[in-house]
C-alpha cells in the first residue's frame, strides 16, 4: 500500500490525533514535527480521494491525547527540579501498556517500518519544552538528572545522578576502618552490643569524609571508593591513599573543592585529613578499584628471643626480591578465596630499633600480605621473617607510608 492507503487503514482503527498519525510515518522526510506530518497526510488524503478534509477530533485511541499536554508535562518537570542544581537533563517516559500495545498492533498489522514510538516523541517534545523554559540542555550519555514521566499517574520521578571527586586521605588514628561496617550481631538493625547504632565501629574514613561532604552537596549519602585499603589497626600516612568519593543524589553539584577540603579536615579533628585534587567520574572508579600499584610500609616488629642487628638485617635481606608464596591468611579466610598467591617484597630495609621493637620498611607488590610476611601465619606464608629466624615474630604496629595511584586491596 502507498502512504495514502496506509493512512486510510490507520484511521479505520478509530479517532487518531495528528501526532500519532504522523508518528506512524515518523521516519519519512525531515524538518517536520509529527503533528505537522500527520495533518499534512490528512490533507493529502483528502485531496487524493476527493473527500472533505476532517480535522482530528475526539480522544485519540492510541495516546489518549497525551501529546496535547506537552506544555503541562514540561511545567511539571520544571517544578520537580526547582531546588536541584543541574546543567543537563534527560527525559524518559513510562508508556502505559495499553498505549504501547495499540501502536505495536498497527505496526504489526500494516507492516510499518517507518514509525516512531510514542515514547520517543514524548521524550523529545517535553525535552524541547523544558529546555526552552529553563535554558538547560538535554544530554543523552551522562545527564545530571533524569526525569521519568508517568502518564498513568500524571507524576514525574526525578533521578539525580551522582557527583564524584578525587583526592587522597591520610588516617592518623588506628582503629578506624576505611568504610562503614554493619554490626556483626544485628547486621545494621541496632542492638545493645552496638549501642543501637547498627555499626561495628563508631566511625570510618568514609563517614568522616562523607558526613561533611553530604551536607555541602545536600546529598542523600556518600560512598568511598578507595585505591585499596589499609587494615583497621594501620595508619595511612605519607601522601595518603587515592580515593574517589561518590555523592549520592546531590541536590548541589558544584561546591568549591578547597572549601570542602577545609570543612572535612576541620570536622575530622585530626583523625583523618584529605587533599582534594579534582572532579572525577564513574569511569575512573572502575580504574582506581581494579588497577594495581606498589605500596610502602613502616612496621614495628616484635621478635621472640634475642638476635643481633646483623642477624635481623640478614634475615630481612633474604626476603628482598624473592617470590613470596602466600596462602590466604587465616584472618581473612572467611571473606577471601582460599588460594596461594605469589607476590614479591621489592625492598626490605632494617631501620633500627624503637621501644624494644625492630623497625622495618617494606615496599611490596599490590596484594602482598605484610603481617603474614613477618609472622609466617603458621606456615601459610613462605618465606617469612619468623621462618628465617626460627622463632615467633609479629607486627606490633603498621603504617602505610606511600601508595601509588592505583592498587588492590591488601
Annotated catalytic residues are: 231
CB 320 within 8 A of CB 368: no
Neighbours of 363 (CB within 10 A): 18
Cα dist. 187→31, 246, 320 in Å? 58, 23, 42
Measured distance CA(299)–CA(319) in Å, rounded: 15
End-to-end CA distance of the chain: 69
Measured distance CA(295)–CA(405) in Å, rounded: 10
CB 80 within 8 A of CB 248: no
C-alpha cell at 133: 523554559
Measured distance CA(126)–CA(144) in Å, rounded: 17
C-alpha cell at 343: 607476590
Amino acid at each position: 500500500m502507498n502512504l495514502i492507503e496506509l493512512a486510510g487503514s490507520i484511521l479505520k482503527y478509530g479517532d487518531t490525533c495528528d501526532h500519532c498519525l504522523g508518528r506512524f510515518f515518523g521516519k519519512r522526510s525531515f524538518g517536520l514535527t509529527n503533528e505537522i506530518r500527520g495533518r499534512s497526510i490528512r490533507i493529502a488524503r483528502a485531496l487524493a480521494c476527493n473527500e472533505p478534509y476532517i480535522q482530528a477530533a475526539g480522544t485519540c485511541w492510541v495516546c489518549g491525547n497525551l501529546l496535547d499536554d506537552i506544555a503541562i508535562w514540561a511545567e511539571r518537570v520544571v517544578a520537580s527540579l526547582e531546588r536541584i542544581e543541574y546543567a543537563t537533563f534527560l527525559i524518559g517516559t513510562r508508556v502505559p501498556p495499553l498505549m504501547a500495545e495499540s501502536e505495536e498492533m498497527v505496526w504489526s498489522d500494516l507492516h510499518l517500518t517507518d514509525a516512531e514510538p510514542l515514547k520517543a516523541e514524548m521524550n523529545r517534545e517535553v525535552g524541547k519544552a523544558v529546555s526552552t523554559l529553563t535554558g538547560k540542555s538535554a544530554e543523552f550519555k551522562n545527564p545530571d538528572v533524569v526525569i521519568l514521566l508517568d502518564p498513568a499517574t500524571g507524576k514525574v520521578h526525578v533521578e539525580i545522578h551522582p557527583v564524584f571527586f578525587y583526592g587522597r586521605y591520610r588516617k592518623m588514628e588506628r582503629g578506624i576502618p576505611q568504610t562503614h561496617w554493619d554490626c556483626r550481631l544485628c547486621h545494621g538493625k541496632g542492638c545493645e552490643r552496638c549501642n543501637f547504632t547498627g555499626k561495628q565501629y563508631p566511625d570510618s574514613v568514609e563517614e568522616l569524609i562523607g558526613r561533611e561532604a553530604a551536607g555541602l552537596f545536600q546529598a542523600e549519602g556518600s560512598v568511598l571508593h578507595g585505591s585499596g585499603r589499609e587494615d583497621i589497626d594501620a595508619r595511612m600516612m605519607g601522601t595518603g591513599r587515592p580515593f574517589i568519593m561518590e555523592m549520592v543524589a546531590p541536590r548541589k553539584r558544584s561546591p568549591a573543592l578547597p572549601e570542602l577540603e577545609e570543612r572535612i579536615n576541620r570536622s575530622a579533628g585530626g583523625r583523618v585529613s584529605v587533599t582534594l585534587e579534582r572532579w572525577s567520574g564513574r569511569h575512573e572508579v572502575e580504574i582506581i578499584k581494579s588497577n594495581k600499584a606498589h605500596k610502602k610500609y613502616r612496621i614495628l616488629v616484635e621478635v621472640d628471643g634475642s638476635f643481633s642487628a646483623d642477624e635481623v638485617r640478614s634475615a630481612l635481606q633474604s626476603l628482598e626480591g624473592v617470590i613470596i608464596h602466600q596462602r590466604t591468611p587465616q584472618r581473612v579466610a572467611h571473606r577471601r578465596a582460599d588460594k596461594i598467591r605469589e607476590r614479591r617484597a621489592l625492598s626490605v630495609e632494617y631501620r633500627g630499633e624503637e621501644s624494644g621493637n625492630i623497625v622495618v620498611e617494606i615496599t611490596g607488590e599490590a596484594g602482598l600480605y605484610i603481617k603474614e610476611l613477618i609472622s609466617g601465619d603458621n606456615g601459610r606464608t613462605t618465606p617469612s621473617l619468623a621462618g628465617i629466624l626460627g622463632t615467633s615474630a609479629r607486627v606490633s604496629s603498621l603504617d602505610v607510608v606511600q601508595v601509588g595511584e592505583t592498587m588492590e586491596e591488601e
